[in-house]
């Protein structure tokens, strides 16, 4: 279904280096072999991708009316680098006056060797969407703590996607490397504006080197299909904190894989998905403890209204070498309507004998005694339900240090909750 598109793409990119063309070809062949996943596959059981088949896809058009484009404005300090993209193309950069040309942000320029090595290292044997991303790899954003040269400690990527008429496939790739002893915050935001026809197929690769620290935030809203495949590798005494917010694409899938490869590596993962209407949202995580004294704490919540559905697949693997592992995995779901369905499948596989591992999962509704308590004080029923739902999600914003970002997200969450409750 992508043959014509691939030919067109290859023609347009004939000037690209050979290794990159080869990489794309290899990925394209892999995707052809694998095809789109079906519900027969265990980790795609609840996700119907039939709407993606047999479409005539086009690539993102960067020449679209910029009227739709309003970049996010957070009050940031001067050590924040804020980049806005429209259909993948860089539109604006706010860099506090720092000269960007020396920072190596152009992925296919000076970064070529670095990129070639990193891209080739990724396994795609059972990852059709990763392969598809590689096949149409175009815009790559690389963020390397080393290249930022101490000028920035926070990077905000604000992607706006739009395609109301044609079946667009976008294949953004974000690559983040935090070097030994360095610390970085990255926000990866994907907003759909008039985006009824778009499939955004994001792939993110993250390396936290020994002793490095990364706070990573991913946000997604309002696309037809949003696929996110994130891979993280955390080295010795490295720290990764990921926060995922999925606030309403018709179909969305987050797949998060983390390898804790060095002793003392830590991975904290939060997720919040709020769905309504007929939306479906998948959250799949695979965390592999490969070394001693590694920690992973995962906390994912879902709020579902209308006839929406979700699935949580959480897999924690503890290698025989990974003694003293501390792994906790929790998934909690709140159903706001009779028609909503949440599926949850936490899973542990442990080969070490001296570990602390726990997992839990709940699916429930609002507590009617709490609703009545609030109403008995004068809250309308709608307000009582909204307050209790907000209270359910509030803890997933409490760790964010940038208050403006957390307020922005909370306002988004409130709007989504109101929508979900309206359909209850």
Partner 1 sequence: MLSINNLHVNAGGTEILKGLNLEVAPGEVHAIMGPNGSGKSTTAHVLSGRDGYDVTEGSVRYFGKDLLDLAPEERACEGIFLAFQYPVEIPGVNNMYFLRAALNAQLKYRGEPELDAVKFMKLIRGLMGELHMDKKYLERPVNEGFSGGEKKRNEILQMSVLRPKLAILDETDSGLDIDALKVVADGVNRLRSADRAFIVVTHYQRLLDYIQPDHVHVMSGGKIVRSGDKSLALELEDKGYSWIESLPAA
- Least Å distance, CB 377 to partner 1, is 4
Structure tokens at 49: 């991708």
**Distance of closest approach, residue 400 Cβ to partner 1, in angstroms:** 16
- Of residues 312 through 371, those in contact with partner 1 by CB under 8 A are 367-370
Beta bridge partners of 233: 207, 259
How many residues at the interface with partner 1, by CB under 8 A? 23
CB of 281 to partner 1, least distance (A): 22
Instruction: Point out which span in 9-17, 267-275, 290-298, 389-397 binds partner 1 (CB under 8 A).
Output: 389-397
Determine which residue in the list 383, 403, 404, 411 makes contact with partner 1, applying CB under 8 A: 383
Q: Tell me the C-alpha distance between 231 and 257, whole Å.
A: 5
| Side-chain half-sphere CA neighbours of 377 within 13 A | 7
User: 54, 125, 377, 401: which one contacts partner 1 (CB under 8 A)?
Assistant: 377
Residue with tokens 């004998």: 353
CB of 370 to partner 1, least distance (A): 5
Choices 155-163, 244-252, 291-299, 383-391; region in contact with partner 1 by CB under 8 A: 383-391
Smallest distance from partner 1 to CB 372, Å: 6
Task: Based on the shown chain and the rule CB under 8 A, indicate whether residue 397 belongs to the binding site for partner 1.
Answer: no
Among 126, 358, 372, 403, binds partner 1 (CB under 8 A): 372
Name the one residue in this structure whose structure tokens are 């926060």. 243
Residue selected from 10, 307, 345, 375 as contacting partner 1 according to rule CB under 8 A: 375
The DSSP letter of residue 44 is G
Distance separating alpha carbons of residues 268 and 54, to the nearest angstrom: 39
The rounded distance, in Å, linking the Cα atoms of 228 and 253 is: 6
Q: What are phi and psi of 146, to 5 degrees?
A: -65, -45
Q: Where do we find the tokens 């003293």?
A: 324
* Pair type for strands 80-86 and 89-94: antiparallel
Among 35, 381, 403, 407, binds partner 1 (CB under 8 A): 381
Contacts with partner 1, 163-202, as mask; x by CB under 8 A: ----------------------------------------
Contact 191, 71 (CB under 8 A): no
Alpha-carbon distance 100 to 98, whole Å?
6
The answer to whether residue 390 forms part of the interface with partner 1 (CB under 8 A) is yes
- Residue 395 found at the interface with partner 1 (CB under 8 A): yes
**Minimum gap (Å) between residue 392 Cβ and partner 1:** 7
Q: Which of 394, 403, 407, 411 binds partner 1 (CB under 8 A)?
A: 394
Alpha carbons 419 and 308: distance in angstroms, whole number: 12
Buried b (16+ CB within 10 A) or exposed e, 303-330: bbbbbbbbbbbbbbbbbeebbbbebbbb
Please tell me the number of Cα atoms within 13 Å of 353 on its side-chain side. 0
Contacting residue, 4, 320, 391, 411, with partner 1 by CB under 8 A? 391
Using CB under 8 A, list all residues that contact partner 1.
Answer: 367-370, 372-381, 383-384, 387-388, 390-392, 394-395
């Amino acid at each position: 279904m992508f043959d014509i598109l691939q030919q067109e793409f290859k023609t347009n990119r004939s000037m690209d280096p050979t290794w990159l063309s080869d990489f794309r070809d290899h990925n394209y062949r892999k995707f052809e072999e694998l095809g789109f996943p079906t519900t027969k596959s265990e980790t795609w059981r609840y996700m119907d991708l039939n709407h993606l088949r047999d479409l005539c896809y086009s690539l993102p058009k960067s020449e679209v009316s910029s009227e739709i484009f309003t970049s996010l404005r957070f009050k940031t300090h001067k050590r924040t680098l804020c980049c806005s993209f429209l259909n993948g193309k860089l539109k604006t950069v706010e860099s506090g006056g720092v000269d960007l040309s020396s920072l190596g942000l152009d992925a296919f320029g000076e970064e070529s060797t670095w990129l070639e090595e990193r891209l080739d290292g990724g396994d795609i044997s059972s990852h059709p969407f990763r392969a598809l991303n590689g096949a149409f790899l175009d815009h790559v954003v690389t963020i390397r703590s080393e290249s930022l040269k101490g000028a920035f400690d926070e990077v905000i990527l604000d992607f706006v996607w739009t395609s109301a008429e044609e079946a667009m496939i976008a294949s953004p790739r974000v690559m983040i490397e935090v070097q030994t002893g360095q610390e970085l915050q990255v926000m990866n935001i994907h907003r759909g504006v008039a985006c009824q026809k778009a499939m955004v197929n994001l792939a993110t690769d993250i390396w936290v080197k020994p002793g490095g620290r990364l706070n990573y935030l991913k946000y997604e809203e309002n696309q037809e299909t949003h696929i996110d495949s994130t891979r993280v590798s955390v080295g010795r005494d490295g720290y990764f904190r990921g926060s995922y917010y999925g606030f309403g694409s018709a179909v969305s899938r987050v797949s998060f894989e983390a390898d804790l490869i060095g002793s003392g590596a830590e991975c904290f993962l939060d997720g919040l998905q709020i769905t309504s209407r007929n939306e479906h949202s998948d959250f799949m995580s695979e965390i592999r403890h490969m070394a001693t004294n590694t920690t992973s704490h995962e906390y994912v919540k879902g709020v579902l209204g209308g006839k929406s559905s979700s699935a949580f697949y959480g897999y924690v693997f503890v290698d025989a070498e990974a003694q003293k592992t501390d792994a906790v995995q929790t998934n909690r779901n709140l159903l706001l309507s009779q028609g909503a369905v949440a599926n949850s499948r936490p899973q542990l596989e442990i080969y070490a004998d001296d570990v602390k591992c726990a997992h839990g999962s709940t699916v429930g509704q609002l507590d009617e005694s709490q609703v009545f308590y609030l109403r008995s004080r004068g809250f309308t029923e709608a307000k009582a339900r909204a307050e209790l739902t907000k209270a359910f999600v509030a803890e997933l914003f409490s760790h964010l240090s940038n208050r403006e970002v957390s307020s922005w997200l909370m306002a988004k969450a409130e709007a989504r909750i109101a929508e979900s409750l309206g359909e209850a």
